[in-house]
Structure formats: structure tokens, C-alpha cells
Structure 1
Amino acid sequence: MSLADVADLLACPTCAARDLPDTPLALDATTLRCERGHAYDVARQGYVNLVGRAVPRNADGPEMVAARERFLGGGAYDAIADALADAALRTPSSAPVVLDVGAGPGWYLERVLARFADDGRPGRGVALDVSPTAARRSARSERAVGAVVADAWERLPLRTSGVDVVLSVFAPRQPAELTRVLAPGGLAVVVSPLPEHLAGLRAAWGLLDVEPGKQERLAATFGEHLEPLDAVDVRQTVPLDRAALDDLVAMGPNAFHGTDRPGPAPSEIELAVRVSTWRRG
């Protein structure tokens, strides 16, 4: 849809940098403005850039976003999307506001909003990513989604306590900031890889490894801010052809580490991720 669906959730990043947090933004034609005169033009593709500086060099480019759309559209990660939506639907909100931090092209956010609609609780979402290319794709959503370019490692340009569900799928995350934007009782749903995730493919092609202790660090950092509810492990063997494998590599961090494939292509991948749910008290 458009930023008009979520403009009331956004906060001026310039004011926040000057110790004036939570200054609301309002949409005026094709510009977001705050009461102190700071203005942010909405791109013709429908997204707004609130980064305020040059986009990082490792932001997803057109080829990465296209690869991600092709791969996710093929259904290999449907089980992850289903588990993510199952967790998100536990919010009691009748009109849920969903923030996807590191949304990419917005595929997971759209799946979650579709499930809310099927449940008779139409919601709206903010697709936040540091990549303008990804934001352009998210802005094309047919659902009530606003696309925002912002850095997940900085203060999020959202007002405090305005979000019912935060999604973080294989993405950077600051538990303190996620807690700040969540309403009391709001949920953070995090998807992170287990050590076995894509193990065969990583071994065959020399790809980046899953960092040791990743789950323990996540539990420790989130536990300082949010109440743990539960965690569900999604494990599945998925057959993939060579084109899908190439897209899987090209859509993530391995895209920045060369294209050499030293071994033969596996015929399947091991899906192994944890979907953990946390609640703000």
C-alpha cells in the first residue's frame, strides 16, 4: 500500500539525534514532516529514506534482492514463515501493528500479515531495511505496509510502544530498541540459525559458518530486556536444484565473499532454525 498506512508510527530521526525522541512525523502529500520542520521526501517508488547518511556498502543490492525473491518464492523456507506466523498470531491485538527489522523484500512480513487477515485481524506493517532496493520491493506490497530505509543498529525511527509484534529473521537486532518500540505485552519473534543449518551446503561450497554460541548469546542479550516465552525448532530436508542453490548463496552474506563453488552442488539442504518468542512485560 503506502506510507500513509503507517505514518503515525514513525518518529523523526533528526529530532531523536538532538535528544528530542518520539517527535511524530506526518505525511504531507509526498513528504514526511515533523513539527520542528524536518522533512523527508517519499521516493516515487513509495518508500522513505530515514538513514540520514550514505547507505552502507554491504546493503542488499538489486541482484541480492532478486535472488531472495526467487528463492523465497520457490517455497523452500515456507516452514519458517509458517512458524513465524504461528508465533506472531499469539498477540491479543485485534488490529496488530507488525514491524519487520531487516525486512528485505518484505516476504516474511507479507506472510505474517496474510495470516492475521485470515484470522479476522487485519493488521499493518512497517518493513524496515537499510537497503533502498529492498525498500522499493516492500513498497509494492498490496497489504498495509510502509517501507522505510533505516539502520537496524541505530535508534529505530519509530515511536515508543507503538508496535505489537517485531519480526527479526536472520537479521541484525538490538534487543533494547526492539523493547522500546514494543507496546506492553508486545512480542518479539526471532528466527536464527542452529549449528546444523545448511551444514552440507556450507561444507560442500566453503560458505560462512554459523557462529559458535549464537543461540546462547541471543538468549542472554534478549533476556536482559524481554521475557522468554518459548522456542520452536524448525528442521526439514528440502530438495533444491542448482538454480535455487545459487540464489540461496547469492541472497545472503556469502554474496560478498566470492562466487567460487569448489565442490559439486548438493541435491538438498538441511533446514535447521530456531523461532524464539519474547514478550515485553
Structure 2
Amino acid sequence: MNGIFVNSSPVTDWSDVLVCPVCASELVLSQSEMPHPSKLACENGHQYDAARQGYFNLLTGKGTKFREDTQDMVAARLRFLEAGHYAPIAEAVASAVPADASLIYDAGSGPGYYLERVMNDLSSSDGTRAIAMDISRAAAKFAAKVPKTLALVSDVWSVLPVAAGSVDVVLNIFSPHNAEEFRRILRRGGRAIVVTPLPHHLQELRDAQLGLLTIQPEKQAKIHETFSEGYALIQEESLEFSLNLSPNEIADLVAMGPAGHHDPTSTETEQRTVSCGVVITVFEKK
């Protein structure tokens, strides 16, 4: 992945987009003599230094009450995703992004797998850039490698560090939904692309009692309710496929999600066919 910090044509100005999480004034990306941008700073003296891996941690005060994905969880996710198992989901997400989108905001980006697919599809557009946001520092260091992307560590339930009406597309894939903040940062006519699991998604692994969370049958109805104010539903697609997974792949699939916080162990010893079902819902800001 050729990220903002090693890309031959890096994005160097984010002052029209980023706002300080403390005082809401413009955040300016400062360049140093090194190949990496060194800090984000606002006119009131609030500064955020770049981590060695290229991301910026914008969590302030007590940070977040939510648990960030660990290095082991992110490593499992990368192994699983880079094997192409969820490529149909990435393709469906990328196809829902308008070709003229100039700013993508990935809320809950993880290591940036889906965002990278989107940015690759938009690579012919010189003006396209992206912000990858996650609470996991382990994930952010990989998201920082996505082309023309700025990776931020922040909490989706806080005020997002982005100016109102500045974003063309919000990606929200298997992540919490802050519909009010998404609406604030989207321009009029901008899209929120939301991916949620169907109730039977990974049901075989749930039946095997491998620690996966139950998916509530009313989940999709709640998504519609959450995005009912200020949005219009413009597209909804169910995507279903099956995977034939090895024991190691099953272990990664279990470990990359919330079950990974509880030291999951897979007792699988044979290949298993696993059902996958998701909904890609596209809302447009009115």
C-alpha cells in the first residue's frame, strides 16, 4: 500500500477539512525536513504529533471508553481480508461510491482494507483524498498506508474532527453509526454507505459456540430508524455468499472481531463452509 507518507504525490493541505477536537479551529498539517509530516496544529496552540507509523492520535482528555482493537486482532483481520474472503463486500462498497467523490471519510476504518479498494477505483481522479478514522492505533498504522489518506485515531461517538459539509462520502462498514455527526460533515447530496451483517451472517460459527456475538433480527430496521432524520434512502442491496474456510482462517475470522477481546480459541480441525450475508445501504443527505 502506498500511503500519504510515502506516496509520490502526497496530500499536504488539510486545513480546509480538519478541525481541532478541542477548539474547532482549522488544523494545519506541518511538514518537516523528514519524509513524514510531523504534526497537526491549530492557531490556538493545540498540537498533535505524528506517530512513527504516520497516523495522528486526536483523542483528548480521557480518550475513549471503548476498547481498541489489539495488534493481534488487526493482524488476524489483515490475514483474513487480504486473502480476499470479503472481496465481494469491498467491490459492492466501491461501486456505491460516486466517481466524482473528492473526499471520503471512513468512520471505523480498521486497517483500511475497504478504503484502499475505494481509493484504487478512484485513482484516476487527482483531487480525491480520504480520511481513515478508527480508535485502534494498531489499525491506524496500516490505514496510514492507503494512497492519499490521512489516518486519525478518534472516537466515532465524539464530535468528528472534520468541518461541516466537507465530505462527499462516509463509509461505515461493520462499525458504530453516528448518523448525526455523519450528517453534519456530509455535504448536501453526500452519501453515507453503511454495511451491516444479516442475522444469519457467520451463523455456522455462532452455532459452533466460538464466541461470536448474536446479530439481532431487527438490526436493519434500526439502521433505517437511525438514518431517518435528514437522509433519504437511495439504495439497499443484500449480498450473500459462502466461504470454505480452513481452521486457521476460521481462527482469524473469530479473532478479528469483538470476540478477539476475549482471547478466542478455535477448536475447528477441518474445513468448514460458512454463510456470509450483509446489507449495503446507501443514504443521501437531504
Q: Taking structure 2 as the reference length, what is the TM-score of the superposition?
A: 0.89
Shift of 1:205: 2.6
Contact 1:113 1:122 in 2 (8 A): no
Tell me the residue number matched to 1:115: 121
Higher mean alpha-carbon deviation, 34-43 vs 123-132, is at 34-43
Match of 1:215 in 2: 220
Name the SS for the 2:224 alignment partner: helix
AA matched with 1:268: T
SS in 1 for 2:165: coil
Residue 12 and residue 274 in structure 1: after superposition, are their counterparts in 2 closer, same or farther (change >3 A)?
same
In structure 2, the residue matched to 1:48 is 56
Task: Name the amino acid aligned to 2:182.
Answer: L
Distance in 1, matches of 2:50 and 2:95, equals 33
Quote the Cα distance in structure 1 between the aligned partners of 2:56 and 2:281.
Answer: 30
User: 1:196 Cα deviation (Å)?
Assistant: 1.1
Deviation sequence 1:181-212 (CA, Å, 0-9, x none): 11111000000001111111111134211123
**In structure 2, C-alpha distance between the alignment counterparts of 1:26 and 1:197, rounded to whole Å:** 42
The question of 1:273 aligning with 2:278 is answered yes
CA contact under 8 A between 1:204 and 1:264: conserved in structure 2?
Answer: no
> For 1:63-142, what aligned pairs fall within 5 Å after superposition?
63-89=72-98, 93=100, 96-117=102-123, 120=125, 123-141=128-146
Alpha-carbon distance between aligned partners in 1 of 2:167 and 2:281, rounded to the nearest angstrom? 18
In structure 2, distance between residues paired with 1:217 and 1:62: 31
Q: Counterpart of 2:148?
A: 144
**SS in structure 2 of the partner of residue 10 of structure 1:** coil
**Offset of residue 123 of structure 1:** 1.7
SS of 2:118 mapped into structure 1:
helix
Q: Does 1:174 align with 2:158?
A: no
Partner residue of 2:193? Answer: 189
Between the aligned partners of 1:225 and 1:278, the Cα distance in structure 2 is 10
User: What code does the residue aligned with 2:59 have?
Assistant: V
Instruction: Structure 1 unaligned segments of length 5 or more: list them.
Output: 16-20
Report SS of the residue matched to 1:35.
coil
Q: Is the 8 A contact 1:205 1:262 kept in 2?
A: no
Deviation at 1:260? 4.3
How big is the shift at 1:157? Answer: 0.7
Structure 2: 5+ residue runs without aligned partners?
Answer: 6-10, 32-37
Change (3 A) 1:122 1:81: farther
User: Alpha-carbon deviation of 1:261?
Assistant: 4.2
C-alpha distance in structure 2 between counterparts of 1:269 and 1:78, whole Å:
15
Distance in 1 between residues matched to 2:270 and 2:107, nearest whole Å: 32
Cα RMSD over matched residues? 1.9
Matched position secondary structure for 2:84: coil
Indicate the residue corresponding to 1:12 in structure 2. Answer: 20
Q: Which residue of 2 aligns with 1:35?
A: 43
Aligned residues: 270
Q: CA deviation at 1:122?
A: 5.7
How many percent of aligned residue pairs carry the same amino acid? Answer: 38
Judge conservation of contact 2:251–2:266 (CA < 8 Å) in 1.
Answer: no
CA distance in 2, matches of 1:146, 1:28: 13
Deviation, structure 1 residue 121: 6.4
Q: Does the Cα contact within 8 Å between 1:205 and 1:263 map onto a contact in 2?
A: no
Q: Is the 8 A contact 2:55 2:152 kept in 1?
A: yes
Counterpart of 2:83, as a letter, is: G
Decide whether aligned partners of structure 1 residues 276 and 57 sit closer, same or farther in structure 2, where only a CA change above 3 A counts: closer
